[in-house]
Amino acid sequence: MRLMSIASGSSGNCIYAGNDNTHILIDTGISKKRVEEGMKRLDLSPSDLNGIFITHEHSDHISGLGVISRKYKIPIYGTKETIEAIKSYGSVGRIEDELFVEIEPDMYIKLNTLSIKPFSISHDAANPVAYRIEDEKSRIAVATDMGTYNDYIINNLEGLNGIVLESNHDIRMLQTGSYPYYLKQRILGNKGHLCNEMAGRLLDIILNKDMKKVFLGHLSKENNYEELAFESVRMEINLSDSQYKADDFDISVAKRDAPSVVAEI
């Protein structure tokens, strides 16, 4: 499979995953133009997409969905609650009912040679999910917008070859920063976002010898920066009791405003 972040961060998220004959996006929280430019790097166009999988209805995950789906008529997969929330969310405009496909956490969606499994995450949205994507050769996941993790999440992230994992904020930057109190509490809460340290600890648990690529993603613009997320996550791995060292793995930060490298997994 190939895995690429077209954009990742609190201001817009769009991840490509696919193999030779099946192509999907996880979320479309950026403009149609940026999706087109990102896919061009893969020698693809949005018309090649077999589906768009939505994690949840927050605008940084769906803001481009209306424009893209109206132009390219791509099926949109999401939980019933996510779809209802998108429909009631005025700013994406009208999307044809026929394009929506309802899914449920823990089901397997077969799309040509890809098998896609949504699994529940803890976030302040309507029945949000992350996705595990497999084909006969490899297994990847896109897991962001998680206030916390548990054994269920860990199980769904086991045995991966590639991942986009949230490393949202530095707790100290958030606590001393300019966000209003309620927003700080929201981000720090169980239904908020993973801080750098928690991302590092979770990554350490799910690392395995076949993990080829780790993208740290969904960084906060105000409360994090690339080097800090990168070093904090690496430190958690290096300080843990596990057999792994951060240097053994290809870890990089997915950028907010530019596509990542294309990881061949």
Residues in CB range of 155: below 8 A, 6 or more apart: none
Between 9 and 114, name the residue whose CB sits nearer to Zn ion.
9
The least distance separating Zn ion from the CB of residue 246, rounded to whole angstroms, comes to 25
Taking the C-alpha atoms of 77, 82, 88 and 92 in order, what is their torsion angle to the nearest 10 degrees?
Answer: -50
Q: Site map for Zn ion, 40-59, x if CB under 5 A?
A: ------------------x-
49 vs 126 by CB, closer to Zn ion: 126
Rounded CA gap, 228 and 264, in Å? 26
Q: Which amino acid is at 199?
A: A
Site for Zn ion in 143-172 (CB under 5 A): 145
110/116 Cα distance (integer angstroms)? 6
CB of 222 to Zn ion, least distance (A): 14
**Interatomic CA distance for residues 120 and 131, integer angstroms:** 9
When the beta carbons of 1 and 194 are compared against Zn ion, the nearer one is 194
Closer to Zn ion by CB, 219 or 228: give it: 219
Q: Which range in 112-120, 138-146, 163-171, 203-211 contacts Zn ion by CB under 5 A? A: 138-146
Q: How far is the CB of 43 from Zn ion (least distance, A)?
A: 28
Least distance (Å) between residue 80 CB and Zn ion: 18
Tokens of 134: 């497999």
**14 vs 233, beta carbon nearer Zn ion:** 14
By CB under 5 A, how many residues form the interface with Zn ion?
3
How many CA atoms does the CB half-sphere of 243 hold within 13 Å?
A: 2
Q: How many CA atoms lie within 13 A of 211 on its CB side?
A: 26
Beta carbon of residue 218, minimum distance to Zn ion (angstroms, whole number): 6
Q: Residue with CB nearest Zn ion?
A: 58
Secondary structure class of 234 (helix, strand, coil):
helix
- The pairing of beta strand 129-134 with beta strand 139-143: antiparallel
Query: Is residue 2 within the footprint of Zn ion (CB under 5 A)?
Result: no
- DSSP letters, 198-221, are HHHHHHHHH--TT--EEEEE---S
Write the DSSP string, 143-181.
E-S-S---HHHHHHTTT-SEEEEE--B-HHHHHHSSS-H
Least CB distance to Zn ion at residue 214 (A): 19
The residue among 58 and 139 lying less far from Zn ion, judged by its C-beta, is 58
Q: How far is the CB of 137 from Zn ion (least distance, A)?
A: 29
Query: Which of 60, 135, 166, 204 is close enough to bind Zn ion by CB under 5 A?
Result: 60
> For residues 60 and 236, which CB has a smaller minimum distance to Zn ion in the complex?
60
Amino acid (one-letter) located at 20: D
Residues of this chain that interact with Zn ion (CB under 5 A) are: 58, 60, 145
